[in-house]
A and B are shown apart, each in its own frame.
Chain A
Amino acid sequence: MSNMLTIENLHAGVPEKKIIKGLSLTVKPGEVHAIMGPNGSGKSTLSSVLAGKEDFEVTAGTVLYEGKDLLEMSPEERAREGVFLAFQYPVEIPGVSNVNFLKTALNEIREHKGLGPIDAAEFLKLIKEKQSLVELQGSLANRSVNEGFSGGEKKRNEIFQMAVLEPRLCILDETDSGLDIDALRIVANGVNKLRSKDRSFIVITHYQRLLDYIVPDVVHVLYDGKIVKSGTKDLALELEAKGYDWIKKEFVEA
């Protein structure tokens, strides 16, 4: 089985600061990888670099997505190729309805696949079906993108978009932050329903809590821009119990 994503010796950061310092990671189709780590370890930078945000510069290393050079692609090409980032802070776009936004995005992706624009009735059906996945109210779909949404609604909206656009590599950047326990359950259920043998997830989180619902195949600990420890879901429990200090200590001593 070929890899979905292969990151080798990645170095990246902003001009005045190195943040990712030699990160390697391999994700196979259907796998769920959790990336945990203390504040400032480079978790969000990793998701931004994978999505192609211009603020970050890659200074060394390679990233292959389904065998193709991901770093050579523009952000929109990555999205059309099936890379989806669920934002930690979803952005508001006043006056643009959620539905219109999603339809535009979906049609771009379809065009990339050589398909024509989606039929209006078919699209409506799709929206209805996917909305129920994250228990999103019908009215939310017609409101402006994320405008006036509560924190929980914004995160559910991200998963809803993910469900509609059907990406193959989903990156969840602290999707659990700011969620109460009910919203967390809804979001996690949505993600679980989207798990399949061809779809991989990178779940970036601070807390083990989310991983009770989205059970990962592998857990990685990111520290100082590198993956310093990998293990099963038990590693997450261990981190929860002991904190990150022992990792830091172990890493510094090593």
Chain B
Amino acid sequence: MAKSDQILDEHIASEYKYGWFDPIEMDTAPKGLSEDIVRFISAKKNEPAWLLEWRLKAYRHWLTMEEPRHWAHISYPPVNFQDIIYYAAPKKKEGVKSFDEVDPELLKTFEKLGISLEEQKRLVGMESNIAVDAVIDSVSVKTTFKETLAEKGIIFCSFSEAVHEHPELVKKYLGSVVPHTDNFYAALNSAVFSDGSFCYIPKGVRCPMELSTYFRINSAGTGQFERTLIIADEGSYVSYLEGCTAPQRDENQLHAAVVEIVAHKNGEVKYSTVQNWYPGDKDGKGGVYNFVTKRGICLEENAKISWTQVETGSAITWKYPSVILKGDNSVGEFYSVAVTNNMQQADTGTKMIHIGKNTRSTIVSKGISAGKSNNSYRGLVRISRGAKNARNFSQCDSLLMGDKCGAHTFPYIEIKDKSGIVEHEATTSKIGEDQIFYCNQRGIETEKAVALIVNGYCKEVLNQLPMEFAVEARKLLAVSLEGSVG
């Protein structure tokens, strides 16, 4: 018994691999939130007047809103919004002209994250299939492969850059899917968002590589409020990847992002996330509060938006990547694996809003709870009046490890059109000791056995991820659940 306790402790101690802090020189705003701070951020980014106005409108609206504390199956002390730094950027050295002059600490951070921009840089012109945008704290520091993409007319850059170089696109689409009035955190984000990624795929272009953004919270006391906007024009296709990590800290950190996706006629966007924000320690101290609004709209016919998420991090995850199926024959998909261990809480799911005719949606959600965690699936399927022959299939599975965790399912189904067909399947199971023993008897140790069993359980979702990401996600699942079976 003592031996297994020791192994358990070691595993818990070694759990979070990305918990370091790098002493990158930062340029930060004073703590707290006010109109002045909103103006400060906008000025820092040298923004046009219309955007400042947009932010201020959002800020004023936010002031009238209340923090949503009751409907989700999560509990945490109230957030003090005046105790957060809303802007932090790696300090720019005077006259940085080339990549080589970038703060070496910054490059080290990326290397530790496994991105290695140096390597990426060397790969320019050679065969590679991922372009990376890296966002530290509030700003995007480097985007790779921009030139290669530009040849096809693809725009992939930081949000701030897009504001200056493609204002007409930003103006047209910003807030068109998630308006600033949408919810408390979306309003907050609209007021103070500092950077993020912007991506536009022109008509008929199939993006030749995976586009990827790595988000990292580095500074203490900083909130991260990035904003991502992806537009797939007629007949275009893009696969977009997002990865996140944060240092291990005792206090909670706030992350409130907004992602908007617009898919035009015959356009397709595949959005994959591996979220590994710091989850807090085993007693629930520290960790990221992840309050995120992600939504896509299939604006015209035959558009398709697919969300795949692997959520292993954060102390609290509150996130419902959704699809508005407006165009006829459009398709929405949501594939999710959400893992909670120790004291983590997740309330996550999706919304599929069927408006167009013959629209189809698929929801596959796999929740895994271990330790003393709580894991909830919350999903809405709405078949609006006039959405003839809409179809939805939902499958929500929960896997429990140990006897101190919780799994919950909250499906909401609203059908306003009689021709709609909605199917919902749900299962709850436990990792069986007999399964683990069977693996042991074949020479596979318990930790590996759990990883194997969990990977099998999540297979349908992991299969949706691009190759490199799937490998990463598998490893992450194993790490997140280490020590969860004694």
Interface residues in chain A, defined as those with a beta carbon under 8 Å from any beta carbon in chain B: 51-54, 74-76, 78-80, 84-85, 87, 90-96, 100-102, 104-106, 108-109, 112, 144, 161, 165
Contacts and interface: CB of A to CB of B under 8 A. Distances in A.
21 contacts: A76-B443, A76-B446, A79-B442, A79-B443, A84-B441, A85-B441, A90-B438, A91-B432, A91-B437, A93-B438, A93-B439, A93-B453, A94-B457, A95-B455, A95-B457, A95-B459, A96-B456, A101-B442, A105-B444, A108-B444, A165-B443
Nearest to A112: B443
A85 B439 CA distance: 11
Contact of A95 (B433, B434, B442, B458): B458
B465 to A, nearest CB: 15
Interface residues of B, number: 23
A94 B456 contact: yes
Interface string B426-455: 000000111101111111111010001101
Contacts of A87: 438, 441
Contacts of A90: 438
A51 B441 contact: yes
List the 9 closest pairs (A to B, CB-CB), nearest first.
Answer: A95-B456, A96-B456, A105-B442, A75-B440, A79-B443, A91-B438, A95-B459, A108-B443, A80-B443
Contacts of A92: 435
A3 B460 CA distance: 48
A87 B437 CA distance: 11
A96 B453 contact: yes
B361 to A, nearest CB: 23
Contacts of B435: 91-93
A221 B398 CA distance: 46
A135 B147 CA distance: 57
A101 B441 contact: no
A134 to B, nearest CB: 17
Nearest to B454: A95
B441 A79 contact: yes
Contacts of B448: 104, 108
Nearest to B3: A74
Contacts of A102: 442
A93 B456 contact: yes
Interface centre among B433, B439, B452 (most CB of A within 10 A): B439
Contact of B452 (A79, A104, A112): A104
B452 A101 contact: yes
Contacts of A54: 433, 437
B457 A76 contact: no
A92 B434 CA distance: 9
Nearest to B432: A91
A31 to B, nearest CB: 22
B436 to A, nearest CB: 9
A112 B444 CA distance: 11
B455 A75 contact: no
A84 B443 CA distance: 9
Contacts of A84: 441
